[in-house]
Structure 1
Amino acid sequence: MNRLTRTDCHDPTGARFGLPTYPWRLAPEGLATRRQLRAAGLRPGGQEVAAQVLRPRRRGREPLVAYLYRIDAAKPVRPMTAARWAAVRRAVAARRVCPACRLDRGYCIPTSVGVCNTCSMTSAALAA
């Protein structure tokens, strides 16, 4: 994609990008990003993306994109139930168990390494 200017990002009909497109911070009223919806206690609720905002970037990098959803079609956020809290606790507990030594290490195992620090040091020492 060629370098975009702020003017290129203004396409309210969607002719260029397939979606109505607005420059960064210039979206019309009634549209919000996921984060803005969440801050208001809402969620997209299965609706399609209504529009997007683009922000050009330097040095030929891809522009930043934020998808927009209609606020009037958004639904309230589902409340956390006891069962959902329990599922979150189990998921976090599973991330603390090292797959190599099967011990709960008291911290989340880094995904970049895949094992606890002790197992990582041991495998590094064996490789040297």
Structure 2
Amino acid sequence: MSRVRAAFHDPDGARYGIPTYWWRGAPPGYATRRQLTAAGLRPGGQPIAAQILWAGVGGTRAAYLYRVDLARPKRTATPAQLRAVRAALLARRTCPTCRHVRPYYIPRSLGECLACAYPLEDAA
């Protein structure tokens, strides 16, 4: 059984300004960002409703909680946005020198594909 720190139990927010619970001690109806994302939700502009505090490596750690009843569904990308992302990713793989589409992203340090940057090594 893990230790529970009484200092991290402040359900009315008198000590920390917002309701505070210990690890795995939050009441139902609250969720972290990751939990909301897993459920297909997002905070939707609501303020932080509560927090969880625990003693971690390097000091006290915090996880912020949002109310599930105020969460909104995740927004999905429009077809135009998906086309723009596909075009941007294709541009990252297209060499500006030889215009070939490579199976890797063109290194920004070279500015061209490896075959154009090192032509003698390919001939060997």
User: Which of the five TM-score ranges fits, normalised by the shorter chain?
Assistant: 0.5 to 0.7
Identity %: 56
Secondary structure at the residue paired with 2:56?
Answer: coil
- Residues 47-85 of structure 1 deviation map (CA, whole Å, 9 limit, x = unaligned): 111001112124xx2322111111111111112221222
Give the TM-score normalised by the residue count of structure 1. Answer: 0.65
The alpha-carbon deviation at position 42 of structure 1 amounts to: 0.9
After superposition, the Cα gap between the structure-2 partners of 1:16 and 1:90, relative to the gap in structure 1 and judged at 3 Å, is farther
Q: Which has the higher helix share?
A: 2
- C-alpha distance in 1, partners of 2:81/2:8? 41
Amino acid at match of 2:40: G
After superposition, the Cα gap between the structure-2 partners of 1:106 and 1:63, relative to the gap in structure 1 and judged at 3 Å, is farther
Residue 109 (structure 2) aligned to one of 106, 115, 121: 115
Secondary structure at the residue paired with 1:65?
Answer: strand
The aligned residue for residue 37 of structure 1 is 36
Give the TM-score normalised by the residue count of structure 2. Answer: 0.66
Amino acid at match of 2:76: P
Answer with 1 or 2: which has the greater Rg: 2
Gaps of 5+ in 2: 115-124
Runs of 4+ in 1 over 2 A off after TM superposition: 86-98, 103-110
After superposition, the Cα gap between the structure-2 partners of 1:88 and 1:26, relative to the gap in structure 1 and judged at 3 Å, is farther
- C-alpha distance in 1, partners of 2:54/2:17? 17
2:21 counterpart of 1:22: yes
After superposition, the Cα gap between the structure-2 partners of 1:83 and 1:19, relative to the gap in structure 1 and judged at 3 Å, is same
- C-alpha distance in 1, partners of 2:75/2:8? 34
The aligned residue for residue 54 of structure 2 is 55
Structural RMSD (CA): 3.2
Gaps of 5+ in 1: 119-128
After superposition, the Cα gap between the structure-2 partners of 1:90 and 1:25, relative to the gap in structure 1 and judged at 3 Å, is farther
The aligned residue for residue 64 of structure 1 is 61
Secondary structure at the residue paired with 1:85?
Answer: helix
After superposition, the Cα gap between the structure-2 partners of 1:65 and 1:106, relative to the gap in structure 1 and judged at 3 Å, is farther
Secondary structure at the residue paired with 1:56?
Answer: strand
